[in-house]
Amino acid sequence: MTHPVVPAIVNLDVPGPVISRHLYGHFAEHLGRCVYGGFYVGEDSDLPNAGGIRLDVVAALRALDIPNLRWPGGCFADEYHWMDGIGPKEQRPSMVNTHWGNVEENNHFGTHEFMELCELLGAEPYISGNVGSGTVREMSDWVEYLTRDGDSPMVRLRRANGRERPWRVRFWGLGNEAWGCGGHMRAEQYAAEARRYGTYCRDHGGNTLYRIAAGANGADYAWTETLMKQLGDLGCAYRPAPFMQALSFHYYTIPGTWQDKGAATVFDTGDHYRTMVQAARVDELITGHSNVMDCYDPGRNVGLVLDEWGTWWNVEPGTNPGFLHQQNTMRDALVASVHFDVFHRHAGRLVMANIAQTVNVLQAMILTDPDTGALVLTPTYHVFEMNKGHQDAASLRVDLPAGTPERAVGDARLATVSMSASRKDGRALFSLSNLDADEPAEVELDLRGGALTEVSARILTAGRLQDHNTPDAPEAVAPRPYEVAATRAGLRVHLPARSFVTVTGRLAGSDT
C-alpha cells in the first residue's frame, strides 16, 4: 500500500532564531480545581505535600522542565487583591470568586505559597497584576513586597511574614483581557492605564521587570496596533521608557460556538478536522500580530506573548460549569504539537506562550480525581515532554518543496502533516505530526549540512482519536520507542494516522 510521501529539507548547519524555553510556559488560575485540589491540597491532606503543595504534581511537572508559571489569573487576576493572601492563613479574609463558579476563595494560596510552588518547580514566576479592580499603588506595593531588598514598608511586611530575602520576579502582567473581564476597556483607555501601571511597577535593586501588556483577543490586530503606538516607545538608551517590554494575545481552539464548544471525548472525524483547522490558525494570528509589531518595532525589541492557548470544550457532564474541567484525548495532543510547530517557526518574535491551564482546567497536563486524588498524565502532557528538547534550542527551518497532504475542511484546506526542528548541545530534534484521522504518511527527511548519528525516536499515537488516560488506564495514550529508517539523504519517518513522533540524533562532528 502506498502512502503520501512528504519530502522535507532541513539544513542542519543553518540555525535560525532561538526557541525560547518560555514558549513552553504554564498557567495556574484560581479557577475550579487548578489551584485548590490541583496544585494545592493543604497541609492537612493525606497526599504527600510540602506546605500544602502536592508533591506528585510537582514531580510530574519538573519532568517537563516547565520554564514559567503564570498566576493568579486570567479573569481572576483582575479581582485579586494580593494583600488578602499574605500573613497567617486563619486571618486571611475570604472573597467570592465571581468569575469561576461563585465559590468562596479563602486566600490560603497566596503570594508566599505561589513563590514556594515556583521554587519547587524550578520555574520562573509570571505574575498577572490587577488593573481591572485594583490600584496603581496596590500593584506597585506588590512589586516592592516581592522584589525589594534593604529596608522599606513592604520589605518589613514581607519579613514579618517570614521571608527575609527578596524573590526574583521577572515576568509581570499589566492586567488580563482588558477588553473583556479585565475591565471592558477600549484599547486607547487600556493603553493609558498600562502607561501608569507600567511606570510605577519599579525595578528594585537587581530585579528587572519584563512588563507584559494585556493584549488582543484572537485576531484583533487593531488592539495590538494601538498598544504599539501608545506603549511601544522605547525611549533612548540612557532613558528607556519602561511601560512594557512585551504585549500578549489570547487564542483558544474552539471548533464549535461559545455556547456549544463540543465535547472533549465525543466527536467525529469532521469535528476533528475542524479542530485542527482552528489549531493551525494560530499561525495566521501570530503572523498578523507580528506584522503589525514589525511596522512599529522592526528591531523586534518588544516581545509577543501568547499567554493563554489551548482547547476549550464543554465541561465534563456533572461537573461545575464554572470549573472548566475537561478530558484530554489524542486530539488535544495533536492540537498541542501543531501549536509548537508554529511557535518554533515564529521564535524570532514570539517570546512566551502559556497553555491554559496546567492542572484540572481546560487543556491540562494533569488531571486529578476529586474523590480519590488519583493523578493522570494527559496526552498533552506527553507532547510537552517529548518536545522539551526544543527549549532554548536554535530553530531549524523545515522546507517542504512539495507541500504536505491536504484535506478540504469546509472552505479551508488543512495540511495534515506538520513539522519543526531545532538543534542544541550537538543534537538535533525533529517533531512530526500526522493530523489525518485515517491515512498514514511517509516523510523523507533530506538532511543537509551535516549528518546524524545515534538516532532514536518516540511515538505518541492511539487506536482512536478519542482515546484518553484515566486512573484505570493511565497509559492508554503514552509515548513508546519507535523506529525510523536511515536513507542516503537522511531519514524516512513513517507517520501512522493520528500520531506525533519525535526523532533525535547527535550531529556528527559537532559539539554545539
Q: Which stretches of the chain bind ligand AHR, using CB under 6 A?
A: 29, 73-75, 176-177, 308, 356-357, 362
Q: Check 177, 193, 225, 385 and give the catalytic one.
A: 177
| Residue found under cell 473581564 | 181
d(CA 146, CA 168): 8
Active site residue 177: yes
Cell numbers representing residue 417 in the block: 502533516
Q: Is the CB of residue 132 less than 8 Å from the CB of residue 214?
A: no
- In 3D, which of 29, 21, 19, 28 has the Cα closest to residue 120? 28
**Cα–Cα dist 201/199, whole Å:** 6
| Separation of alpha carbons 375 and 355, rounded Å | 19
Least distance between ligand AHR and beta carbon 67 (Å): 19
d(CA 503, CA 443): 12
Of 441, 444, 440, 435, give the one whose Cα is nearest residue 407.
435
Min separation Cβ 149 and ligand AHR, Å: 33
Nearest approach in angstroms of CB 176 to ligand AHR is 5
CA–CA dist 174, 393 (Å, integer):
29
**Residue reference for cell 516523510:** 443
Residue number of the CB closest to ligand AHR reads 74
Beta bridge partners of 509: none
Shortest approach of ligand AHR to residue 325 CB, angstroms? 12
- Our CB check for ligand AHR shows the closer of 68 and 404 to be 68
Those residues with Cβ within 8 angstroms of residue 160's Cβ, 6 or more apart along the chain or in another chain: none
Q: How far is CA 219 from the centre of its chain?
A: 18
Between 76 and 482, CB nearer to ligand AHR: 76
Burial of 158: CB neighbours in 10 Å, binned 0-12, 13-18, 19+: buried
Q: Give CA angle at 117 (112, 121), nearest 5°.
A: 150
Give the dihedral of Cα atoms 473, 67, 303, 240; nearest 10 deg.
160
308 noted as active-site residue? yes
Cβ-count burial of 453 within 10 angstroms (0-12 exposed, 13-18 middle, 19+ buried)? exposed
Nearest approach, Cβ of residue 312 and ligand AHR (Å): 8
Least gap, CB of 283 to ligand AHR (angstroms) = 21
In this complex, which beta carbon is closest to ligand AHR, that of residue 248 or of residue 502?
Answer: 248
Of 194 and 445, nearer to ligand AHR (C-beta) is: 194
Q: Name the minimum Å distance from CB 73 to ligand AHR.
A: 5
**Pick 19 or 362: Cβ nearer ligand AHR:** 362
Pick between residue 125 and residue 479 the one whose CB is nearest to ligand AHR.
125
Q: Can you tell me whether residue 12 is helix, strand or coil?
A: strand
Cα(283)–Cα(339) distance, rounded to whole angstroms? 8
232 vs 241: CA distance, rounded Å: 9
Give bridge partners of residue 170 from the DSSP assignment. Answer: none
State how far the Cα of 401 lies from the Cα of 373, in Å rounded to an integer: 50
Rounded CA gap, 180 and 80, in Å? Answer: 16
Q: In 3-state terms, what secondary structure has residue 387? A: coil
Nearer to ligand AHR, 328 or 357 (CB): 357
Distances (CA, A) of 473 to 27, 370, 374, 465, 498: 26, 17, 12, 16, 20
Grid look-up 511597577 returns: 201
Q: Shortest Cβ distance from residue 170 to ligand AHR (Å)?
A: 21
Give the residue with the Cβ less far from ligand AHR, 73 or 85.
73
Least separation in angstroms between CB 260 and ligand AHR: 17
Q: Choosing from 105, 124, 308, 385, which is the catalytic residue? A: 308
Catalytic residues, by residue number, are 177, 308
